[in-house]
Every structure is written in structure tokens, then in C-alpha cells.
């Protein structure tokens, strides 16, 4: 059974810093990995999707990488802004359903 | 991307009553939809897989008689929380897979259930 872990559980950084969020999964037979953002009391906003054949995806200040052999994915956020404050979730897809990590609560301080 | 809606966005009910939550794929058909539950400050946990035209598949520990799922059409799945109790208070989110087969999941905005 797929297990997904996110480290750190919480992170507080000053505005402008570059940061890395980590996601690890136990079953390397995943089809893809999705990164989401969730604001308090809200649903999920899809940020990036990395197919199993890809190694990274980029969107604006966000870059996500995938290393299936080591069971890891990272989300890199460049030049962080207060508006980036949210919970970031990764989800591994080994079929149609997603298995989520516990999330990283990010606070970017002005 | 494909759009998934949920209704209602929030609901408050008395203990012992039943609540129905709808999940709709607005611009595509979904033979499969997924229901997740999220407790405060926790991640999403899959409850069940809703299958159009057949019975839902429930995850271990989820009571199928309490959480009734009906996939009535190719664009609608409903989750009914029967005899709700305060411990059922949670954020319920549905998703549907990419209709083009790309494995991306599209999520609804969620429904906040509060049971008094």
C-alpha cells in the first residue's frame, strides 16, 4: 500500500527566501505525482503534475521534481511571498486514486 | 482543466439527521469519482471510490451503511452521511480523474459538515 510522507510538517520563512518542500513515497510504481495548495478552509488547487516518465515540471516560481528510484519528489518555491502561505500537499497516483502526504504548512513572513 | 463542483459548500445539521452532498463533473463525464475526508489540520484520507452503475468501493474502516454513495449518472455522485454525529464533522472533498486518461485528479471545492 502506498504511503506518502511530507517533511517538514511546518515551515516559517522570511519573504524572499527560496525553499524546498519534500515528499517521499514508498511504492515507486506510481503513475504520477501531483502537488496541491490548500488555503485554510478551502479546497485543493492543483499546482503541478509530474508524469512518471518526467523528472520535473515548472510553473512560474514553482518547480517540482520526481525521482521514482529514490521515492522522492520536491517542490521548489523561488523568491517566496506572503501570498504563498498555505498548506502544500503532495499526492501519489498509483491507479486512479491519490494517496496524500500529511502536508507542509508554510508561513512566509513579510 | 476539467471542473468539479460540490453542493452544498457548507452544512450544519443536528445529530441523528442525514446529510446529502453532491459532486458533479461539469464539463466531462466521470465513470469513477473519489470521496475524501479531511479532519482539521490533517491530510485528506480516501473514504471510497464511487463507480457509475455499480457499488462503491469503501476503504478499510469506512462504514458503508453510514456513508451511502450513489453514482447516479456519469456526471453526478452523491455521498449521504446517515445518522450524523459530531465526530462526522469534517471537510468532505470529491475528485474525478482526467477524462483524457492523463491520471490527473480534479477536485471539487469541498463541503464543510458540522454536526451539532
C-alpha cell at A38: 490548500
Q: Give pLDDT, residue A64.
A: 97
Q: Give pLDDT, residue B1.
A: 66
The pLDDT mean for chain A works out to: 92
Region B11-27: mean pLDDT is 96
Rounded CA-CA distance A90/A37 in Å is 9
| B36, B43, B91 ranked by CB distance to A101: nearest | B43
For A29, A52, B75, B78, the CA distances from A95, given in Å and listed in that order, are 9, 12, 20, 22
Taking an 8 Å cut-off on Cβ atoms, the answer to whether A89 and B1 are in contact is no
Beta strands in chain A (DSSP E): 4-7, 10-14, 19-25, 32-38, 44-51, 56-59, 62-67, 72-77, 86-93, 98-100, 104-109
**Residues of A with CB below 8 A from B45's CB?**
100
> What's the gap in Å between the CA of A98 and the closest CA on chain B?
8
| B45, B97, B110 ranked by CB distance to A43: nearest | B110
Residue B71 has pLDDT above 80, yes or no: yes
Taking an 8 Å cut-off on Cβ atoms, the answer to whether A100 and B43 are in contact is yes
CA A27 to chain centroid, in Å, comes to: 17
**Residues of B with CB below 8 A from A51's CB?**
102-103
Give pLDDT tens digits for A42-87.
899 999 999 888 899 999 999 999 998 899 999 999 999 999 999 9
Residue B73 has pLDDT above 70, yes or no: yes
Amino acid at each position: 500500500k502506498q504511503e506518502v510522507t511530507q517533511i517538514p510538517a511546518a515551515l516559517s520563512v522570511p519573504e524572499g527566501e527560496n525553499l524546498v518542500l519534500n515528499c517521499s513515497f514508498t511504492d515507486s510504481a506510481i503513475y504520477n505525482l501531483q502537488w496541491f495548495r490548500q488555503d485554510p478552509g478551502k479546497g485543493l488547487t492543483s499546482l503541478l503534475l509530474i508524469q512518471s516518465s518526467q523528472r520535473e515540471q515548472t510553473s512560474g516560481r514553482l518547480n517540482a521534481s520526481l525521482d521514482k528510484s529514490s521515492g522522492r519528489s520536491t517542490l521548489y518555491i523561488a523568491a517566496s511571498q506572503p501570498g504563498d502561505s498555505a498548506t502544500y500537499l503532495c499526492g501519489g497516483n498509483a491507479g486512479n486514486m491519490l494517496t496524500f502526504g500529511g502536508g507542509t504548512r508554510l508561513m512566509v513572513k513579510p | 482543466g476539467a471542473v468539479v463542483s460540490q453542493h452544498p459548500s457548507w452544512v450544519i445539521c443536528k445529530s441523528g439527521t442525514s446529510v446529502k452532498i453532491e459532486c458533479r463533473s461539469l464539463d466531462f463525464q466521470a465513470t469513477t469519482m473519489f470521496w475524501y475526508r479531511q479532519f482539521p489540520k490533517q491530510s485528506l484520507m480516501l473514504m471510497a471510490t464511487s463507480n457509475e452503475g455499480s457499488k462503491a468501493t469503501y476503504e478499510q474502516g469506512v462504514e458503508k451503511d453510514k456513508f451511502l454513495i450513489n453514482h447516479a449518472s456519469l456526471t453526478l455522485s452523491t455521498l449521504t452521511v446517515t445518522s450524523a454525529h459530531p465526530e462526522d464533522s469534517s471537510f468532505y472533498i470529491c475528485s474525478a480523474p482526467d477524462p483524457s486518461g492523463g491520471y490527473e485528479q480534479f477536485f471539487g471545492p469541498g463541503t464543510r459538515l458540522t454536526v451539532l
